[in-house]
Structure 1
C-alpha cells in the first residue's frame, strides 16, 4: 500500500505555514484590484459566450421552395378606380396572366386612403359583351336626354330610376353603344311616357363637355352605364355617390330588358321603391359601382423564379380610357417576396441577428406621387433585384435552416408611354444566395478562457506585488546605508 508520504510528494501546491507569512496593506489592495479585474473579465467572457457569432458567405442558390415565388403586396392607388384596376404578371418565358382576381382583394378608398366600401368584385366577361348590329347613322342624334350638371341633379330627384350613359365622343366603345342606346332610349320613352309615368328615364352625359360631373361620379372608363335610384344616391358617411353600374350586353333588347327588370319592384300607381330595388335576373349584370375614385389592391400572386414584371393598370375589354386623365400615383404599404414570415419569428431573428431583414422592405411605406398636372401618360416603374438569404443554425451539434427570406434592392423611375399609364414592378432574382451561418461557442472554450483569466490575473498580481515589495526593501536598504 502506497504511504501517505509518497502521495504528498506529488503535491503541486505545497503549503507554507501561516505563521511564516506576513500580510501587508499593499498586498490587500492589489488583491482587491485583482478580484475586481477577474470579475470584469469574467463578465466580458460570459457576454461573448452568450452572443451569437455568425459568418456570411455567398453561394449558388440552392432553394428548397420550388420553382415559383410568391409576391405579397398591399398598394393604394388614390386615382385608380377598383372598377377597372387590373393586376397582371408576365415573365421572360412568355407567360402572361392578365387580370388576376383569385388571390387579390380590391377595396375602394378615398384620397386619404380610407376605405369607403367593402371589397369590390370585378365583373368578368366584359370582352364578350354583345353590342348588337344596329347601324350608326352619322346624322342622327341621341334620342335620350343630354344631361348637364343642373339637369342631372334635377332628374335624379324626379325619376325613381335614372339610367345614365357616361360617354366620350372619341371613344370606340361609346360609338358602338350609341345606336343601341338611341333605340333603347326611344323605346323606353314611348313605353314609359315621362309626362305620365315618371318611374324611369334614360339620359347621357358627354364627359368631354361635363368633366366635373363625370369626375364627381368617379367615371374613369367610357362608356359607363350608371343606375341612380331616387333617394339613395348619396352616402352620409363620406358624401360619395352610391349607385349601381350595368355590366351586361349593350344591344337594344338587353338594354330594354334591363330597364324592365329595374321597374318590376316599382308600382306605377304610387312610385314607391321596393326594399330590394334589384331583381334576381338583373343581379348578374347590375352591381354596386365604386363609391370613390381610388383603390387599395392587396393579396399575392405567384410567379416563376425568372425575370418578370408585376403590372397594375386600368384594363377593360369594353371600355376606353383617357390617358391624359389617368394618374398611377401609388403608396406601397407592403411588398415582399417569398413565404411570409411570422412577426414572432421576425422578433426572434432580429434579436439574434439585428442586421437581417433591413432590405427586405425597401419600398414599404414609400409614396410615388405624380403631382405635375401637365405631365401626362406617366408610367411609374420599379426595378427590383432580389437575393435570397438563408440563416443556418448549428446549435446542439445539429445544422438546420432557421429562416429563408428574400431581400431586395429597389430603384424607381418615371417614364412616358404612348400607351395607358401603368405601375410596373420589374423583378429579377440573383442566381446566388447569401448564407448566414450561426456559430455558437463551445462550453469547453468558455471554461478554458475563464481559467486563463483567473490564472493570468492571479499571476500578474503576484508579479506586481513581488516587484513592489522588492522595491520597498531596496529603498529601505539604501536609506540605512546613508544613515551609517
Structure 2
C-alpha cells in the first residue's frame, strides 16, 4: 500500500514549494488584484449570457404555399377628409379589392389632430327610407321602391336604392360619377353635403388587410377607384382646384405579427413634399420570417425594407393622387430561434476564463519580477544608465 501511495505521489503535476522559499512582491500583489477583478468581470459576463437566451439565425428557401399575408396599417392624413378616402388592394394574381371597408376604422380629425368621430364605414351606405322616385316610372301604393341606377343598370330589374349602390353600378360600367348632386339617392343621403362639411378636416385610418401571399399593392386615394379598358382610374367625388393634400404620416405598417427585435422602418415616419398633390409611392421588399422562442412557440411574420418615391401630379402627367404601397416577396426566409447556453458550455468557458487569466497574469508577474531583479543587479554593479 505504501509503495502504491508513493507511485501516486510521483504523478503529482503540481509539486508544492515550501513557504520558506516564497518571495512576495508589491508588483505581484497588484497583478493579483487586477487579474482577480478581470476574472470576476468575465465570470459575471459569462453568467449573464448563460442565464439569458441567445438568438440563432438561419436562412432558408421559403417553400410555403397558399398562405395569406396580413398587412397591419395606421396612417394619418392631416389634410384629407375621411369621407373621400378609399382603400384598394390588388395583387398579380388578378384579385382586386376596391373600396375596402371591412376591418377598417376611420377617425375624423380636426385641424389640431384631435379626434372628432370614429366610424367603421364611410358615408354613402344609408338606404333611403322615403324615396322620391321609382325606376322606370311612378311609385304606386304598396309597390316596393326600386331606385334608378341612372343608365348604369345591368338589366331593367336592377335597383340602386342608395348612393353607394349607384356608385358601385357606375364602377362596374367603368364610368366616373362627375356630379353626385344630380343623383337623387346621394342628394337624399346628404352625401355631397357631408363631404363639404368635412372640408378642412384630417383622417386617421387604421386596420388590417388579408391578401394573397404574392406580389401586389394597396393604396389610399381620394374618391373611388375603377378600371376601364385596363386603365386605373379614379372617381373624384369633389373636385378641388388646388388638388388634394396627400401629405401623410405612417404611424404603423407591419406585415404580420410582432416578434422580439422586429424593426418596421416606416413606423412614425411623416412624408410631406413642397407640392402636396401627387403620387406618393413606397416600394417594399417583404422578407418572410419565422421566430421560435425558448418555449418552442412559433411566430410566422415578416420583415421588410422600403424605398420611397414621389411623382408630382400636373397637367402633363396623368398620375393619380394618393399613397401607394407596392410590395414584393423575397424567396428567402429568415429563421430566428431562441435558445439557452448549455451548462457544459458555460462550465468550459468559466474554466477557460480562470485558467487563461491566471496563466497570463503569471507570465506578466514573472516578466515584471525578473525585470526588476535585472535592473537592481545592474544598479548594484553600476552598469545601469
Name 2:329's counterpart in structure 1.
429
Aligned partners of 1:389 and 1:433 also within 8 Å: yes
Range with greater deviation from structure 2 (295-304 or 41-50): 41-50
Question: What is the SS of the residue equivalent to 2:265?
Answer: coil
SS at match of 1:289: helix
How do 1:289-300 and structure 2 match up within 5 A?
289=194, 291-293=197-199, 294-300=202-208
CA-to-partner distance for each residue in 1:422-454, whole Å, 9 max, x for gaps?
322212122222334557544333333333343
Does 2:269 match 1:365?
A: yes
- The answer to whether residue 41 in structure 2 is matched with residue 40 in structure 1 is no
SS at match of 2:331: strand
For 2:340 and 2:46, how far apart are their aligned partners in 1?
Answer: 10
Structure 1: gaps of 5 or more residues = 135-172, 174-219, 226-246, 259-284, 350-355
CA distance in 1, matches of 2:369, 2:103: 83
Partner of 1:314: 222
CA spacing shift, 1:453–1:30, aligned 2, 3 Å: farther
1:30-109 superposed matches below 5 A: 30-44=28-42, 46-48=44-46, 50-51=48-49, 54=55, 56-63=57-64, 67-109=67-109
Secondary structure of the 2:248 match is strand
Relative distance call for 1:479 and 1:50 in structure 2 (3 A) is closer
The answer on whether the counterparts of 2:73 and 2:253 sit within 8 Å (CA) in structure 1 is yes
Q: Which residue of 1 aligns with 2:140?
A: none
Partner of residue 413, structure 1: 310
Residue 299 (structure 1) shift? 1.1
Superimposed CA distance per residue, residues 377-425 of structure 1 (whole angstroms, 9 cap, x where no aligned partner) = x3322222222233455x6xx8664673322313222243537533222
Q: How does 1:138-157 map to 2 (within 5 A)?
A: none
Distance 1:421 1:17, change over 3 A: closer
Normalised by the length of structure 2, the TM-score is 0.65
Shift in alpha-carbon separation, 1:440–1:35, aligned structure 2, 3 A: farther
Counterparts of 1:227-238 in structure 2, within 5 Å, are none
Structure 2 residues without counterparts, runs of 5 or longer:
138-149, 151-176, 227-234
Question: Cα deviation per residue 1:235-285 (whole Å; 9 max; x = unaligned)?
Answer: xxxxxxxxxxxx8637xxxx8xx7xxxxxxxxxxxxxxxxxxxxxxxxxx5
SS at match of 2:111: coil
1:249 aligns with 2:155: no
**Separation (CA, whole Å) in 2 of partners of 1:305 and 1:445:** 41
User: How many Å separate the matches in 2 of 1:440 and 1:337?
Assistant: 29
Alignment partner, residue 168 of structure 1? none
User: Taking structure 1 as reference, are residues 399 and 10 closer, same or farther at Cα in structure 2, changes over 3 Å only?
Assistant: farther
Q: 2:211 aligns with which of 303, 306, 319?
A: 303
2: CA distance, partners of 1:131 / 1:323: 33
Alignment of 1:106-185 (within 5 A): 106-119=106-119, 121-124=122-125
- State the Cα RMSD in Å: 4.2
Given the superposition, is the C-alpha separation of residues 22 and 370 from structure 1 closer, same or farther in structure 2, using an over 3 Å criterion?
Answer: closer
Please show how residues 428-447 of structure 1 align to structure 2 within 5 Å: 428-438=328-338, 441-447=341-347
Superimposed CA distance per residue, residues 292-323 of structure 1 (whole angstroms, 9 cap, x where no aligned partner):
22322211111111121112223359984426
The equivalent of 1:329 in structure 2 is: 246
- How far residue 327 of structure 1 moved from its aligned partner, in angstroms, is 0.5
Asked if the contact 2:257–2:300 (Cα under 8 Å) also holds between the matched residues in 1, the reply is no
Q: TM-score, normalised by structure 1?
A: 0.54
- What whole-Å deviation, never above 9, does each CA across 1:88-140 have from its counterpart, x for those lacking one? 111111111111112111222223332223426433389xx978679xxxxxx
Distance 1:121 1:476 in 2: 94
